[in-house]
Amino acid sequence: MFAGVLALLLALVVAGFHGWCLFDGSVLDDHWHQRGLREHGWSAGELQRSVRIEPAQWMHLWWQDQPMYWEYARPLFIVVMKLVYHTLGGDDPFWLHLLSVVLHWACALLVARVAFRLTESRAAAVVGGLLYCVYPHSIITVAWPSSQNAVLFIFFALISMLAYWRASGLDVLVFAGSRRIGPPPPPRAASPSLSTNWFAVSVVAWLLALLTRENALALPVFFAACDFAFGGAATVRRRLGAYVGFAIACVAFLAWRTTQLGSGLPEVYYRAYAGEGIEYPLWLLAKLLHYFVTSIWIAPMTVGPTGRFNPWTEAPGDCALMLAILVGVGSLYTVAARGRRGWWLWPLWILLMLAPLLPVIATPHSGYLAAVGVAVGWAVAYARLDVNRYLDEAYFVVGESRVARFAGGVGAIGGIALFVGFCVLSRWQWTAVAAAERYFNESVRIAAPPAGATDVFVLNVPFVNVYAKPALDHLDPGRFRELRWHVLAFSPQPVVVEEPVFVEQLDEHRLALTSRGQPFFSRLLGRFLIDAFRSGGRFHAGDTISTPHFDVLIADADVGGVRRIEFSFPRPLSDPSYCFYVSTMDCGAARLRFDPQPDDLSRLPANNSLAEIQSRVWTDGDAGAIDALFAAEIRESDSNRAPRSGEANAADYLRATLGPVMRALASPLQDRVDRAASAEDWRVLRAWWQDNLSDDLLRELRVVHEDLAFLVKLREELPHARMWAARVIRSDLYLTGPPFPTNREELAKP
């Protein structure tokens, strides 16, 4: 009865917190993985290709001069994804989302079972299961099919652990040795040898976990720790044969993995030792501290010390803050868990799961691996033997201090409450990332490339849209599949464009991209874009790069990044085979038009009411209608006559109309709108409008503005969350600290 009620309770909680993800669709890596699942076959090589991420396969980066890719040896994960997504699900990501939700629920049940085995307390089982359900880092992991390997791995790992306990015959009750009232239960000593059947189940589940995610290599170490905690050194000696078997299997797996995979992970994403001396182990120590703190505390497991060369000297306040959190939460747990056998196993679980990830950039889905240690640890710390269950025997634990009871209660109940709140924030953040990605893709679909286009060039696109090409290929294969995709520059901000940029046509074949705020190729993203793709290091002013499609000149750069880039194309910018998009603060993707033949500036249209003209511009998409506004303002400026009282002011209408359009198109004249005062100013702005605007473009901008406004609202959760967090604390822990250095040269600047 209790098991059924608990299963229903956890199912309702999982549905409430994770059911939203069923309709998230594909996000980030999903686009490329799922393309591979659709197009590749079932052979081992083709399955492996489905998880090989090589950006050069779908986009051209003009600064890339070295191969860059990463892949994982996780065959079972790939098989499960292909079976669920392609074979059974008909290429619908809904079924992958559903599998993750069901697996998360199953893992929560297994965690509750582990907590009950350790404590024989129903309350502890409920606490453990609930903590696991609402663990904040589970929100993104469960919602993102590409991280489903973590959920699948934990499922098999828990089965393997429970089976190993049964096979070893250990008494894993954490209260053993406590003073009890009434007759104690019969002692359960460790078996001299492992139970063959249960050990076979444990090994099979472990192998399945190993083929799902490499972290399973740490499980045998945890099993040995359990033998020591619950059986002592004698049990460890009796299990040496099993440990040797596990070790041989681990070596064989590592040998196979080495032969299957190519070069290592790209720079910055994975930081390998490069002769930094003591700095590298200190960096690893800071990463371990960050991983551990964000596992047990409500903070995003995102970047953190990864963005620093030496966090202890660059951000000592952050390190002190993390140490304080670790000591505070660790002390609370130690007081609450004091006297329980094996209480140290669950911090050890966190350490073993996260230690292999230390060189890798911190990401939220890695935190899912620590959830078992957090949930079971607090369940053990909180646990009481159920008095009602043993009422007939008057059997329960006594003598526990009030301090321990208070600490256990605060840790468990307070943890659930805090986790619930952070789950909501995590969901908003994930929705914002998905909305930011979709905003660009949908904007491009609205302003689709014209017939005859062969090459698409994108400027200032946020890095969150790195998979835009495969996403658009799937959404509209007839229009996008055969197009070549060139990234001229990623936005300095990785998710949401937060600063203005300017696109300027220099002549018939050349254009320039300028940033007056944060430079391109700057901070941590810039470091990744350079170190992972380019062998020559940072850019210098005057650098030139030639590609088969265009030439590049770095016109302005310093140690902080690149401020101006000029591109020269073999065909005119207005050539029908070219299609250009720019991402700005005001538009996800605006298609640029370049006209080598500007309109005649002397043409002055008939007079219309100013309100009617503005309505024609925005409602009807009539680009030519605004010429009447220009004509009126030019006449007023030429005559130096101020408008009479109550008379409509053409300049105000022009600013209200020109401003949003010029910002959306990254016009270098956008600053001139607000300060335009002379007839010459308005003639220059009119010339820009006539050269760059068309009825089709205005209609595209209006549709993007109106139809995608909800995506803009959703994606704003990211900058808003950072803004509010910065008002409370400035720390890398919450992505509110000082900017990450672009390179060591910048760090060395006085």
Continuous H helices in 605-649 = 610-618, 627-639
Write down the pLDDT at residue 575.
94
Looking at every residue in the chain, the average pLDDT score rounds to 86
Half-sphere exposure of 460 (CA within 13 A, CB side): 34
Q: Domain check: are 512 and 366 in the same one?
A: no
- Using the predicted structure, report yes or no on whether residue 649 has a pLDDT greater than 80: no
Report if residue 702 sits inside a domain.
no
**Dihedral (C-alpha) 42, 47, 49, 52: value to the nearest 10 degrees?**
160
- Write the Ramachandran bin of 25: left for phi over 0, alpha for psi from -120 to 50, otherwise beta: left
Provide the 10 A C-beta neighbour count for residue 76: 18
Task: Give tens-digit pLDDT for 515-532.
Answer: 989 999 999 999 999 999
**Dihedral (C-alpha) 137, 142, 143, 146: value to the nearest 10 degrees?**
100
**Alpha-carbon distance 167 to 352, whole Å?**
22
- Using the predicted structure, report yes or no on whether residue 180 has a pLDDT greater than 80: no
Instruction: From 412, 422, 431, select the one nearest 299 (Cα to Cα).
Output: 422
Write down the pLDDT at residue 202.
96
Q: Domain check: are 355 and 454 in the same one?
A: no
**Alpha-carbon distance 606 to 750, whole Å?**
61
Q: Domain check: are 575 and 618 in the same one?
A: no
The predicted model gives 171-189 an average pLDDT of 55
Report if residue 76 sits inside a domain.
yes
Query: Do residues 393 and 183 lie in contact, with contact meaning Cβ atoms separated by under 8 Å?
Result: yes
Residues paired with residue 457 on neighbouring β-strands, in sequence order: 486, 580
194-230 in b/e burial notation, b at 16+ Cβ within 10 A? bbeebbebbbebbbbbbbbbbbbbbbbebbbbbbbbb
**Alpha-carbon distance 658 to 219, whole Å?**
62
712-731 in b/e burial notation, b at 16+ Cβ within 10 A? bebbebbeebeeebeeeeeb
**563, 592, 621 — which closes off a domain?**
592
Residue identified by tokens 């335009």 is: 676
Write down the pLDDT at residue 607.
43
Q: What are phi and psi of 255, to 5 degrees?
A: -65, -45
Task: Give tens-digit pLDDT for 476-535.
Answer: 888 899 999 999 999 999 999 999 999 999 999 999 999 989 999 999 999 999 999 999
Task: Give tens-digit pLDDT for 121-159.
Answer: 888 899 999 999 999 999 999 999 999 999 999 999 999
- Quote the tokens at residue 455: 């090459």
Continuous H helices in 447-538 = 468-475, 477-480, 523-533
Task: Give tens-digit pLDDT for 394-406.
Answer: 334 444 555 655 6
- Using the predicted structure, report yes or no on whether residue 44 has a pLDDT greater than 80: yes
Task: Give tens-digit pLDDT for 629-640.
Answer: 677 667 666 555
- Domain count along the chain: 4
Q: Which amino acid, one-letter code, is at 84? A: V
- Using the predicted structure, report yes or no on whether residue 342 has a pLDDT greater than 60: yes
Q: Domain check: are 92 and 29 in the same one?
A: yes
C-alpha distances in angstroms, 352 versus 136, 214, 220, 345?
20, 12, 10, 10
DSSP state, 362?
A: B
More confident of the two residues 570 and 624 = 570
Report if residue 150 sits inside a domain.
yes
**Alpha-carbon distance 308 to 362, whole Å?**
12
Report if residue 428 sits inside a domain.
no
Q: Domain check: are 106 and 196 in the same one?
A: yes
Q: Domain check: are 169 and 230 in the same one?
A: yes
The predicted model gives 658-686 an average pLDDT of 82
Q: Domain check: are 738 and 655 in the same one?
A: no
Q: Domain check: are 578 and 635 in the same one?
A: no
- Using the predicted structure, report yes or no on whether residue 305 has a pLDDT greater than 70: yes
Instruction: From 404, 384, 398, select the one nearest 338 (Cα to Cα).
Output: 404
Write down the pLDDT at residue 644.
41
Query: Do residues 604 and 688 lie in contact, with contact meaning Cβ atoms separated by under 8 Å?
Result: no
Q: Domain check: are 586 and 640 in the same one?
A: no
Task: Give tens-digit pLDDT for 574-605.
Answer: 999 999 999 999 899 999 988 665 443 333 33
Sign of the alpha-carbon torsion through 598, 603, 606, 607: positive
The predicted model gives 101-110 an average pLDDT of 98
**Alpha-carbon distance 343 to 683, whole Å?**
77
Length of the chain: 750
- Using the predicted structure, report yes or no on whether residue 334 has a pLDDT greater than 90: no
Provide the 10 A C-beta neighbour count for residue 598: 11
Report if residue 726 sits inside a domain.
yes
**592, 621, 644 — which closes off a domain?**
592
Write down the pLDDT at residue 173.
84
Sign of the alpha-carbon torsion through 479, 481, 486, 492: positive
Q: Domain of 728?
A: 714-742
The predicted model gives 699-705 an average pLDDT of 83
**Alpha-carbon distance 115 to 380, whole Å?**
7
The percent of residues above 90 in pLDDT, for the chain, comes to 60
The sheet with strand 501-505 has its strands ordered as 501-505, 510-515, 561-568, 551-558, 544-546
Confidence of residue 248 (pLDDT cuts 50, 70, 90): very high
Report if residue 747 sits inside a domain.
no
Task: Give tens-digit pLDDT for 705-725.
Answer: 888 888 888 898 888 888 888
Report if residue 424 sits inside a domain.
no
More confident of the two residues 339 and 303 = 303
What is the bridge-based pairing of β-strands 551-558 and 561-568?
A: antiparallel
Q: Domain check: are 213 and 297 in the same one?
A: yes
- Using the predicted structure, report yes or no on whether residue 187 has a pLDDT greater than 50: no
More confident of the two residues 610 and 666 = 666
The whole-model pTM stands at 0.90
Report if residue 23 sits inside a domain.
yes
Confidence of residue 679 (pLDDT cuts 50, 70, 90): confident
**Lowest-confidence region among 4-13, 577-586, 723-732:** 723-732
Q: Domain check: are 221 and 282 in the same one?
A: yes
Q: Domain check: are 270 and 373 in the same one?
A: yes
